[in-house]
Amino acid sequence: MHAYDGELGAAVARAQEGDEAAFAVAYRLVQPGLLGYLRGLVGNDAEDVASDAWLEIARDLGRFKGDGAGFRGWSATIARHRALDHLRRQKVRPRSSALEQDVLDLPGAYSTYDQALESISTEHALELVRGLPRDQAEAVLLRVVVGLDAPAAARVLGKRPGAVRTAAYRGLKRLAKQLGGEGVTDDGPRTLGESK
């Protein structure tokens, strides 16, 4: 559970009543995780796909029913559908990703040096996740990056919660093994649509 789910739920409720500032709050709370998830799916095209997803989210917001955690799951489902549509339209092998820093540059107590190190770490982590089998990568991205629980991630993927928990566990175990030095390869970054 994210600490901001209460704030997100309240913002979504106000946004459904037409409060544009509340919609901006919901966007700021959800977009970083959603963008990280999409980077794992479509690489450099993540921002374009996220824009398409947010257009649909804004259009259909009045039909959403649920709380903050439900909104994160609902928006992840929409983003996933837009990503899969994007990959189908490409009809060619998706391009590899050279990740860029998140769109939002929220003010913080971090120095530029700290932010650069964090960006490099995030890029490296997403490269490792993209190297996982697709089911494991999506489960890890939804559970860790987007922050969904197993039932919500299962709804996004159209699978059982146990299958998602297992895929996330296997993916995280494989990542831990790679970070321990075993199984690390020099393969370039890939998106989830590519096969080995």
Cα–Cα distance for residue pair 128/188, rounded to 1 Å: 10
> DSSP letter at 17?
T
The domain total for the chain is 1
* 55-96 per-position pLDDT tens digit: 999 999 999 999 999 999 999 999 999 999 998 888 655 454
Domain CATH number, residue 89: 1.20.140
Residue 100 in any domain: the answer is no
Residue 107 in any domain: the answer is no
Residue 110 in any domain: the answer is no
- The percentage of residues in the chain with a pLDDT greater than 70, rounded to a whole number, is 74
Q: Do the beta carbons of residue 129 and residue 40 sit within 8 Å?
A: yes
User: Domain range spanning residue 16?
Assistant: 1-93+116-180
Residue 101 in any domain: the answer is no
Instruction: Flag whether pLDDT at 100 surpasses 90.
Output: no
Global confidence as pTM: 0.66
Residue 105 in any domain: the answer is no
- Planar angle of CA 43, 25, 52, nearest 5 degrees: 35
* 176-195 per-position pLDDT tens digit: 888 775 444 444 444 554 44
**Residues found in the chain:** 196
Question: Which whole number is the average pLDDT over 26-44?
Answer: 92
Q: What is the mean pLDDT of the chain?
A: 79
